Structure formats: structure tokens, C-alpha cells
Structure 1
């Protein structure tokens, strides 16, 4: 039975699931009725952060044009341009023991592609969630439903896996940003164009 989290809650992942090594982080969403003339394209991305909360290099930013990072320990399974259908819209596979020791935190972000120029924001998105699944058994371990707390934001840090006393924990973050992916990347020490 999955642990259902609320914004700000943290939960042990590896301590309460001994032997867990491989997880899939699934992200999903639906778009509301919208007649702005542009398709909605939401994207999941991942930032691998050091103890200072920064990426060590561009290779620590994983997204639809760079599907792998962390020396192959974190793999994005590919872009979904429509968000159609049930279940996860995009997934990230993580081999926890293989994550380089310099990485303290794995941050999961959902952004609206070209959200500002298309006048799109998370007020037009519903049923957004992140979940952590045991890749070997396909058992859902953690789920965080974001709710409808957003209006003008074009990017959301949905959750983070982080190291604590030799174990991995998950934090339900749910922080929205204006300025899209570039704003979050800048906070992580990267410049993206």
C-alpha cells in the first residue's frame, strides 16, 4: 500500500523498503479545457544536486534532449507531448546504489514547454502527481497528488529524493515558479537558453 503524502511531508524510502535498489518515478497530469490555439506540452525534468544544492555540470540536468545522467544511474524514458491516457505521462528510472556519491538530492520538475509565450500555466492543469514505484515488483511505494494550488506558475518542483544518514528519503515539495525551467535551472547553477 502506497504512502500518500501532502505538501511538505517527508518519508523514508530505502529504510522502510529494505533491499530496494531500483525505482521508477512517474509523473502525470491532465490539461483542462483550453482554447488558446496551442497544444499543451508538459515536460518532466530532473536536476542532480550536490550538497550545495547545485548541479556539478550540464550533465546533471536530465530532460527530453538528454535522457541520462548520474553516470547512467538516472534515465528519463522519453518525452510525452500530449499527456493523453491514464497513468504516468513521463517516467524516470533510478538505480539508487549507482547514483554518484557527489549527488545528495534528485529534484523532479514539471514544466510547461513555452508556457509564457503560449499564455499557459499550471492553473490550466489538473490531477498532477508524482509517484515512486519499486521497479522490480511494480509496487507503488509513495504518491503525492499536487492538488489545484497553482495559478500563474509555469514550472513546479514536485518532489525530491535525497540522502539522509546513508538512506534515501522522499520529500513532497510542490513549489511553483514563474519563469519556467530557466528559472529553476538558474537556481541550480545552470544556464539554459
Structure 2
């Protein structure tokens, strides 16, 4: 049975589940009906950061234009441009044994593509969640529902998966940013043109 988390909670992933080697981070959302004339295109991404919280190499930023990072340890399964249907809208797979030693935190984020041009924000998004699934058993380990506290934000750091004393843990973040993907990139130390 999956554990439901609230903002700020941390949970151990590998210490209590020593056989957990591969996970799927599933992200889902619905968009509220509005007459803006554009579809919503939400995008998941992963920032593979060092101890200082910064991404050391460009290839360690995993998103729709770079589907693999961390020497193949983190794989984005592809861009869903509409969010239609039930279940996860986008997924990121992580294989713990392959994560390079320079990576201490994997920040999972969701952004709204062309949010400013389309006049869109997370106040128009509902039922957003992240869940962690054991890839080998397809069992849902945990779930974090983000709630409706966002209004003008165009980017969210949903959670972090991080190393602590040789084990992997999960932290429910739910922190919003204005400025979309560029703001998140700067937050994680990446140069943005």
C-alpha cells in the first residue's frame, strides 16, 4: 500500500526496501477548463545536482530535449503534449545503482511550456501529483498530491530524490517559481540563453 505524503515530508526509499533498484517517478495533472485558446503543455524534468545543489554537466539536465542523463541512470520516457487521459502524464525512470557518484540530488520539476505567451499558470492546474513506483514489481510506494495552493507560478519543484548515508530518500517539496523552465535552470546552476 502506498504512503501518502504532505509537503515537506521525507521518506526513506532504499533502506526499508533494500531490493528497490529501479523506480518510476510518475507525474500527473489535470487542467481546469478556461477559454484561453491554447492547450496546456506541462513538462516534467529532472535536475541531477551535486552536493552544492547545482547541476555540474549540461547532460545532467533531463527534459523533453534531452531524455537521458547521469550516464543512463535517469531516463525521461517522453513528452506528453496534452495531459489527456488517466494515469501518469509523464514519467522519469531512475536506476539507483547507475547514478554517478557526483550526483547527490535528483530534483523533479514540472513546468508549463510557453506559459507567458499563453497566459497560463499553475492556478489553472488541478489534481497534480507525483508518485514513486517500484519498476520491477509495478507497486506504488508513495504518492504526494500537490494541492491547489499555486496561482501565478509557471514552474514547480515537485520533489527531490537524494542520497543520505548511502541510501536514497524522497522529499516532498511543492515549491513554485515564476519564470518557467529558465528560472528552474538558474536555480540549479545552469546557464540560460
Work out whether the TM-score is over 0.5. yes
How do 1:88-127 and structure 2 match up within 5 A?
88-127=88-127
In 2: Cα distance, 1:65 partner to 1:72 partner:
15
Any runs of at least 4 consecutive aligned residues in structure 1 with deviations exceeding 3 A, and if so which? none
Tell me the equivalent position of 1:57: 57
Gaps of 5+ in 2: none
Tell me the equivalent position of 1:159: 159
Deviation at 1:34, TM superposition (A): 1.3
Quick check: 1:32 aligned with 2:21?
Answer: no
How do 1:1-193 and structure 2 match up within 5 A?
1-193=1-193
Deviation at 1:183, TM superposition (A): 0.5
In 2: Cα distance, 1:50 partner to 1:29 partner:
29
Q: Residue 117 of structure 1 aligns to a residue in which SS? A: helix
Gaps of 5+ in 1: none
Q: Deviations over 1:41-96 (max 9, x none)?
A: 00000100000000011111000010000000000000000001111000011100
Q: Deviations over 1:1-20 (max 9, x none)?
A: 11110000000000111111
Q: Residue 132 of structure 2 aligns to a residue in which SS? A: strand
In 1: Cα distance, 2:178 partner to 2:156 partner:
9
In 2: Cα distance, 1:104 partner to 1:184 partner:
18
In 2: Cα distance, 1:34 partner to 1:96 partner:
40
Deviation at 1:191, TM superposition (A): 2.0
Query: Could you state the TM-score of these two structures normalised by the residue count of structure 1?
Result: 0.99
Query: Could you state the TM-score of these two structures normalised by the residue count of structure 2?
Result: 0.99
In 2: Cα distance, 1:171 partner to 1:178 partner:
21
In 1: Cα distance, 2:127 partner to 2:192 partner:
28
Q: Residue 108 of structure 2 aligns to a residue in which SS? A: strand
Q: Residue 184 of structure 2 aligns to a residue in which SS? A: helix
More off after superposition, 37-46 vs 183-192: 183-192
